[in-house]
Structure 1
Amino acid sequence: MSKEIIAKKAAVVDGIKDQFDNAVSAVVMNYRGLTVDEVTALRKELRDAGVKMEVIKNTYLRRAADLSGYKGLDELFTGPTAIAFSQEDVAAPARIVKKYAKQFDALELKGGFIEGKVATLEQLDELAGLPDREGMLSMLLSVLQAPIRNVAYAVKAVAEKGDESAA
């Protein structure tokens, strides 16, 4: 193989390594059996959530994962493989891929990593069950409002009781 080809392949692996290094999470999936429309819909939803899905040669993925310190991912890179990287929302790739895997039997979640650690399928399922950022903020707001709401109800009850005794 010529030095030029080797340099090009090394540059590709370096680019993939950067994606591994910059991602907060990623999921590896088998997409064989999905139609073009189904893959397009999956890619669109992932892209809207800030997740980048790519189909990359398994040898490149193995080398980039090893260079990034993800030794446990090698066994996932067999057969037709797509990987979805997220640099912002940790749960987005797992949540979206799990949703589509329920919808389309052909899509299979193989594994991935979460914040620098190789994750099991069980961990990815747990992560997929978490609400998105807006849902979490809504839950937090509800929890913060509860004590104030309870105080307001108590003050209202005392005020109504005072009105009844005055009448």
Structure 2
Amino acid sequence: MGRTLANKQDIVTELKGLVDEAQMAFVVDYQGLTVAEITDLRNRLEASNSVCKVTKNTLMRRAIADADEWQPLTELLKGTNAFVLVKDDPGSAIKAYQAFQKDTKKTELRGGLLEGRLLSSDELKAIGDLPSKEVLIAQIAGAINGVATKLAVGIKEVPNSLARGIKAVSEQTDA
């Protein structure tokens, strides 16, 4: 019994550490998944710097007990849950989950938590539909580059226009 209690305490400590590093979490009903499928989901999420933990709801409840901003998550702690803890890019983590779900058709997105606010599965899907951070950066860089190009062309045109104006004035003076 003492070993089991120590094991549970280790799991809670690990979960606390993961929760402390996460900016978002979402909860997935994983019932019916094989070990290989859960491993596949974990591998897909790893690319987005996210961790998928399958653990008992009571252990997750203990892990978030001292963190007020995580308390709304307790509403989702029913049934068989896998917890996806997202460190950096929520959009890419949700996209990775959606691709997995499309391939397996065995899981259900229950909801999630972002900055202390409970999110429905529809709200999570909307986050997944947003462009990735890399795409947004590329779009912003493209827009800035376009403005800079137009500005450079405009600045280059000023001396040319001035030279044409001076030439026209000198031609009128000569005539």
TM-score by length of 2: 0.74
| Per-residue deviation, 1:103 | 3.2
Q: Judging changes above 3 Å, is the alpha-carbon distance between structure 1 residues 12 and 39 closer, same or farther for their aligned structure 2 residues?
A: closer
SS in structure 1 at match of 2:33? coil
Contact 2:72 2:116 in 1 (8 A): no
CA RMSD across the alignment: 2.8
Q: Which residue of structure 2 lines up, in the alignment, with residue 47 of structure 1?
A: 46
Gaps of 5+ in 1: 163-167
Q: Percent identity?
A: 28
Q: Judging changes above 3 Å, is the alpha-carbon distance between structure 1 residues 149 and 102 closer, same or farther for their aligned structure 2 residues?
A: farther
Amino acid paired to 2:136: M
SS in structure 2 at match of 1:49? coil
Runs of 4+ in 1 over 6 A off after TM superposition: 152-157
Superposition pairs of residues 4-153 of structure 1, within 5 angstroms: 5-69=4-68, 70-151=70-151
Amino acid paired to 1:146: G
Amino acid paired to 1:60: L
- How far apart, in 2, do the equivalents of 1:116 and 1:20 lie? 12
Encode CA deviations 1:122-162: one digit per residue, 9 max, x unaligned: 321221112222212111112212223445677899x9xx9
Contact 1:112 1:119 in 2 (8 A): yes
Contact 1:90 1:114 in 2 (8 A): no
- How far apart, in 1, do the equivalents of 2:66 and 2:5 lie? 17
SS in structure 1 at match of 2:90? coil
TM-score by length of 1: 0.77
Gaps of 5+ in 2: 165-175
- Structure whose CA Rg is larger: 2
| Per-residue deviation, 1:56 | 0.8
Q: Judging changes above 3 Å, is the alpha-carbon distance between structure 1 residues 19 and 117 closer, same or farther for their aligned structure 2 residues?
A: farther
Q: Judging changes above 3 Å, is the alpha-carbon distance between structure 1 residues 112 and 127 closer, same or farther for their aligned structure 2 residues?
A: same
Q: Judging changes above 3 Å, is the alpha-carbon distance between structure 1 residues 138 and 120 closer, same or farther for their aligned structure 2 residues?
A: same
Amino acid paired to 2:55: I
Amino acid paired to 1:14: T
What is the number of residues matched between the two proteins? 159
- How far apart, in 2, do the equivalents of 1:111 and 1:83 lie? 10
Q: Judging changes above 3 Å, is the alpha-carbon distance between structure 1 residues 77 and 145 closer, same or farther for their aligned structure 2 residues?
A: same
SS in structure 2 at match of 1:66? coil
| Per-residue deviation, 1:5 | 4.7
Amino acid paired to 1:15: E
Q: Judging changes above 3 Å, is the alpha-carbon distance between structure 1 residues 6 and 32 closer, same or farther for their aligned structure 2 residues?
A: closer
Contact 1:24 1:88 in 2 (8 A): yes
| Per-residue deviation, 1:58 | 1.4
